[in-house]
């Protein structure tokens, strides 16, 4: 049993990059379905990829990467939206000058 657990956590940096690149477009599309623009998607996906890397040892099976990644992306999207809601609307200096 412990041998099986050790095997699950032996995913390497190469494994992570291969899985991430394979599913990046799906994760990006999923994030876009929750976020208002592509800039936000880029920010969230960058944060989510760092978290995925840090939590790679929790991934039980390479086949579960996409659903696992979607959970992380979803929570990062919610966090992004919550932070944006707390900040309120911020106008650019160009828009303020026009007004």
Query: Under a CB-based contact definition with an 8 Å cutoff, are residues 73 and 45 in contact?
Result: yes
Locus of tokens 């990467």:
65
Give the Cα separation of 64 and 10 in Å (integer). Answer: 15
Q: Are 60 and 9 in contact (CB under 8 A)?
A: no
pLDDT cut 90: percent of the chain above it: 66
CATH of the domain at 26: 1.10.1740
Instruction: Tell me the average pLDDT of the chain.
Output: 87
Strands (E), 1-99: none
Q: pLDDT tens across 29-76, in order?
A: 999 999 999 999 999 999 999 999 999 999 988 999 999 999 999 999
- Overall number of domains in the chain: 1
C-alpha dist (Å) from residue 26 to 1, 5, 52, 82, 83? 33, 28, 15, 23, 24
Name the residue range of residue 19's domain.
2-98
* pLDDT digit string, tens, across residues 78-99: 999 999 887 766 666 776 777 7
Q: How confident is the model at residue 86, as a pLDDT?
A: 77
């Amino acid at each position: 049993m412990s041998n099986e657990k050790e095997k699950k956590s032996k995913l390497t940096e190469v494994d992570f990059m291969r899985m991430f690149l394979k599913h990046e477009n799906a994760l990006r599309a999923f994030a876009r379905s929750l976020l208002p623009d592509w800039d936000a998607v880029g920010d969230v996906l960058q944060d989510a990829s760092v978290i995925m890397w840090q939590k790679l040892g929790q991934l039980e099976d390479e086949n579960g990467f996409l659903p696992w990644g979607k959970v992380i992306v979803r929570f990062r999207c919610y966090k992004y939206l919550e932070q944006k809601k707390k900040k309120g609307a911020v106008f650019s200096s160009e828009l303020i000058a026009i007004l």
